[in-house]
Amino acid sequence: MTCHEVGRLLDAYVDHELDPAESASFQEHLASCAACRRRVAERESLGRLVRSVPYYSMPDRLRTAITTAPVRSRVTPRLLALAAAVMVAVSLGGVTAVRMVRARQGADVTTMVAQGIVDSHVRALMGDHLFDVRSTDQHTVKPWFPGRLDFSPPVEDLAAVGFPLVGGRLEYVAGRPAAALVYQRRQHTINLFIWPESTGTSSDDVRAIRGFQLRHWSHDGMSFWAVSDLNDAELADFERALQHQ
């Protein structure tokens, strides 16, 4: 199964409408395609959000007006005015609902990514896999990524301001490949995750999860997530130092 076929069958898969053979082929493709796994996750998230929007039934006043209207005068100026008012209200409510869904979807995706960032940070520290390439030289770390990623991450050495580069590795965050650069601040490790920015993604973000500080920003078409057990003030200094390079 190809990515194009996955796109065509995506709704049917999410709604459990594929036959066993198609479903098996679909899942086989997902196992080897991070982009399609992300499409499925986003569609499932959108479905949950749509189902959470409140359902509003027809007002009793309108129902009564329709069911009791005389046959010889099905459409009256009063009924037309009432119907028009209802349509306007429904339209405005629909726009509001769509905006709510989109906002909640964006927040939901950002939270999922942030949790994935923390999981990757902890996994790297505990699993002794902090580096694929270990070097304090940005001209050694940066050339290591081409051929392993379909983008070239910016690599800066911030030793002059107290955040020396110590290496990098490949990572997968929320189903997408990412470059992970590793910086040091005294005895604290900072993981900086980088991937190409996607249209419609959330804006800058600051949060704490499980005792770790996170900062997200975008620059020159790239999305950056920094995570560490540093305090937020020092992690903010790290972000500013990178943005001024």
Q: pLDDT tier at 64 (50, 70, 90 boundaries)?
A: confident
Instruction: Give the whole-angstrom CA distance, residue 134 versus residue 164.
Output: 12
CA end-to-end span of the chain: 44
Q: pLDDT tier at 157 (50, 70, 90 boundaries)?
A: very high
Instruction: Give mean pLDDT, residues 86-110.
Output: 55
Q: What is the pTM of this model?
A: 0.58
pLDDT tens by residue, 207-236: 999 999 999 999 888 999 999 999 999 999
Structure tokens at 142: 């940066």
Q: Mind listing the domains of the chain with CATH numbers? A: 116-243 (3.30.200.100)
User: CA triplet 164, 169, 173: central angle to 5 degrees?
Assistant: 115
pLDDT tens by residue, 20-39: 888 888 888 888 888 888 88
User: How far, in Å, are 82, 127, 183, 215 from residue 136 at the CA level?
Assistant: 72, 21, 9, 23
* Full DSSP string of 71-120: GGGSS-HHHHHHHHHHHHHHHHHHHHHHHHHHHHHHHHHHHHHHHHHHHH
3-class state of residue 164 by DSSP? coil
In sequence order, what are the residues at sequence separation of 6 or more whose Cβ sits closer than 8 angstroms to the Cβ of residue 162? Answer: 185
Q: What is the pLDDT of residue 21?
A: 86
Instruction: Give the whole-angstrom CA distance, residue 190 versus residue 159.
Output: 13
